[in-house]
Structure 1
Amino acid sequence: MGISLQLIFLQSFEQYAATHRLSKDMWRAAYSITDCRTYKLGGHYLSCPSGHQCEQQFNSCRHRNCPQCALLAREQWLAGWAERLLKVPHYHVVFTTPHQLNVLWRYNRKLFADALFAAATGALKKLLADPKYLGATPGMLAALHTWSQTLAAHVHLHVLVTAGGLDSSGKWKNSLRQCLLPRKVLMIIFRGKLRSELLAALDRGKLELPPDHSTAQVRSLLNMLGRKVWNVKILDRYDHGAGVLNYLARYLKGGPIAPSRFISLTPHSLRFRCRPGSQEAGGGEVRLPIDEFFTRLLNHVPPKSMKTVRGYGLYAGGQREQLNIARVAVGQTALPKHPAPAIAWQEICVALGREDASVCRHCGAKLVVEGYFRCARPPPKPVFCTVEVGNR
């Protein structure tokens, strides 16, 4: 049996929680991962109408940081956006905040995320509205990531940008340059906008100050960072956006680390794979004490209801009419008024070559729900089954 995130939590989380302060969001994530698909969340019985098969199915937690629940949500998100995406070249732009701002991010996650989204997309919109660069409204899809390969704090925003846009007359206008924008100019505007957002929040008293920081120190920090070079990357143009979309989808659900990266687990430490570029990653792997692993992992749990993926321009939620005009202009059909139903988990199982758990393994009949058991109770053996009940 391989190492799973649930196993790590079951083995060591209670001891960690006894000695560390955690937010409500961290507690919710920890116990969702621990209890997912166990009797603690309750479940139901599925049986074949002919009595060939009867089994327990435990409920999933559906938390966005749970790797067991990630596949369905990720595939549904991918299918939805693959349908909406314009079939034109796209650019992948990455905005990284200086590590000195990590302390402000830890104490102001929602506010910091809003400021980062506004600064990055605002800088792109301002430059792309200029006829010198494009003179049109592009489609932008932005995704927030807050971790590095070693799970250390690394707050950055990935933005997928169309290589063109819709101008004021409703015509599609292709990008004028092979490179989307001059990187240094984009960096300067992004830097100014993010500093402005944070300073405005500080002036309004909305920015929570870390315990060892005063208002004057935060203001001095932001002023000092205004003289530094920030890391903004504009990657090569892609003929389509699907590749970047797949990259973003890997990090949308399931948390910052995939169980396939785990190498070994002891009661006191965890070893996992990562890219060898990090200072901590000797030979492409890193070993962390269990307490440090939990601290790093839980620091990346987003606050409840915070959106980590947002659309702007033609990809904004309220721009369906404009998006349809752009789709027709580039040779695509308009989106239907009513979106298609989300892809079902049975379709995903078939697409991935996995067994469809909704049909009987013996006769192929559709399994039906025969009863439920409540959460926090071990399931009793049902009386209606004609065969022995067993977990899948």
Structure 2
Amino acid sequence: MPEVQDIFEQFADAYLAHHGLSLAQHKAMNAIRSCRTSRLGGHMDTCPGCGYEKPSYNSCRNRHCPKCQAFSKERWIDARKADLLNVGYFHVVFTVPQELNLLIYRNQRDCYDLLFRCVAETLGELAADKKYLGASIGHTAVLHTWGQNLCFHPHIHCIVPSGGLTGLGKWQHSSKKFFLPVRVLSRKFRGKFLALLRLQMPDVDRELLNLCYQKEWVVYCKPPFKDAACVVEYLGRYTHRVAISNNRILKFENGIVTFKWRDYRDSNRWKEMILTAEEFTRRFLMHVLPPGFTKIRHYGFLSSRGKRIKLKVCKLQTGTRLVQKEKLSAEQLIQKLTGRKPSQCPRCGQLDMLRSALSPPSA
């Protein structure tokens, strides 16, 4: 099946000749083109028993590469399991109107930070209100900038435990379907974002802000998960996702890319989209984040500040078993996921394979 790497390998040079890219976009494109090829070097694994040989090339480890997210995702999830509480969890999505897309894209770092800040303050302030919960909550937020058709669509996914700590250190559980009404969330988020946007960018178009203020912003809340295991699996689907995975690309012929996408406005039906390689590349590179930008953030009792004490209190209050964090090595994690020791010969299964240098990274 065709991959993003194949498209870049054939058309990246032509695209670069006619389009200017940021340094981060250049790095992402070059990394994806080189991922698991001889350009990055590699090694040869040889079985001393049956003589089976298997060459392996190094990964680029770029966070925008469709090939390099599976292991990073599993490593991240494994580290988060110890933070789960024995309570229900909610998935909340905050979006902004499309009229702001151009402004946000031109000021990505500032606007993405502003999105995170407004989401966290909206959830925290409303949860602290005794009218709704009267407690301090924690949540994990993940930034996505794309829609299914690869168009620019910035939004924040939040995973929120159904409760929080009161001022007396007691766990306050939410017995409602969701302790914060969606319409209240939407309007508070809208007001915060537009007010802070106006402060940070005094020259922003006032008519644009007025238009956005008159619209109802979309905040969506899904029903609670069944158990903690579902939360872990669900987290993995969102934390390390890239704009498009290779398995969604159906065809790549004569400079035309065909991929499948889910149309949420049409009963979630799967459809096919046909784009030129140039347009596909343009849409993909729109979602390369600014260098060093943190797209997964933790807040409240899940944030690094005070987490060690507050999370322990939450576990004791919710009857969650205290588990010692166990950091698995790369080999242990792969063995846990696949059920097979990665160094073991796949042919005879008797001996560990010996590793030797295959080629150094090319300049």
Same fold (TM over 0.5): yes
1:223 aligns with 2:222: no
Structure 1, unmatched stretches of 5+, are 204-214, 378-392
Percent identity at matched positions? 34
Q: Secondary structure at the match of 1:188?
A: helix
Alpha carbons 1:325, 1:334 under 8 Å: kept: no
Partner of 2:355: 369
Alpha carbons of 1:283 and 1:39: their partners in 2 closer, same or farther (altered >3 Å)?
A: closer
Partner of 1:183: 182
Partner of 1:359: 344
> Partner amino acid for 2:132?
Y
How far did 1:199 drift? 1.5
1:18 aligns with 2:4: no
How far did 1:248 drift? 4.0
Q: 1:92-131 alignment to 2 at 5 Å?
A: 92-131=91-130
The structure in which a higher percent of residues are helix is 2
How far did 1:132 drift? 1.4
How far did 1:238 drift? 2.5
How far did 1:241 drift? 5.1
Partner of 2:308: 320
How far did 1:41 drift? 0.7
Partner of 2:319: 331
How far did 1:234 drift? 2.0
Alpha carbons 1:91, 1:235 under 8 Å: kept: yes
Q: Secondary structure at the match of 2:144?
A: strand
1:340 aligns with 2:326: yes
Alpha carbons 2:44, 2:53 under 8 Å: kept: yes
Q: Secondary structure at the match of 2:25?
A: helix
How far did 1:262 drift? 1.4
Alpha carbons 1:123, 1:189 under 8 Å: kept: yes
> Partner amino acid for 2:18?
T
Identify which of 221, 238, 246 aligns with 1:234. Answer: 221
* Structure 1 residue ranges (4+ consecutive) displaced by more than 4 angstroms after TM superposition: none
TM-score (norm 1): 0.85
Alpha carbons of 1:27 and 1:345: their partners in 2 closer, same or farther (altered >3 Å)?
A: farther
Q: Secondary structure at the match of 2:19?
A: coil
> Partner amino acid for 1:233?
Y
Partner of 1:44: 43
1:288 aligns with 2:308: no
In 1, the alpha carbon distance for the partners of 2:134 and 2:323 equals 25
How far did 1:220 drift? 3.0
User: Aligned residues, how many?
Assistant: 360
Alpha carbons of 1:107 and 1:61: their partners in 2 closer, same or farther (altered >3 Å)?
A: same
In 2, the alpha carbon distance for the partners of 1:182 and 1:55 equals 56
Q: 1:43-62 alignment to 2 at 5 Å?
A: 43-49=42-48, 52-62=51-61
In 1, the alpha carbon distance for the partners of 2:157 and 2:243 equals 15
Alpha carbons 2:148, 2:263 under 8 Å: kept: no
Alpha carbons 1:263, 1:271 under 8 Å: kept: yes
Alpha carbons 1:25, 1:302 under 8 Å: kept: yes
Moved more, 243-252 or 121-130: 243-252
Q: 1:157-196 alignment to 2 at 5 Å?
A: 157-196=156-195
Moved more, 89-98 or 344-353: 344-353
Q: Secondary structure at the match of 2:18?
A: coil
Alpha carbons of 1:226 and 1:326: their partners in 2 closer, same or farther (altered >3 Å)?
A: same
In 1, the alpha carbon distance for the partners of 2:303 and 2:204 equals 37
1:209-233: CA deviations, max 9, x gaps? Answer: xxxxxx252x331233122211111
In 2, the alpha carbon distance for the partners of 1:282 and 1:316 equals 38
TM-score (norm 2): 0.91
In 1, the alpha carbon distance for the partners of 2:204 and 2:344 equals 64
In 2, the alpha carbon distance for the partners of 1:342 and 1:302 equals 29
Alpha carbons of 1:227 and 1:242: their partners in 2 closer, same or farther (altered >3 Å)?
A: farther
Alpha carbons 2:198, 2:204 under 8 Å: kept: no
In 1, the alpha carbon distance for the partners of 2:108 and 2:138 equals 26
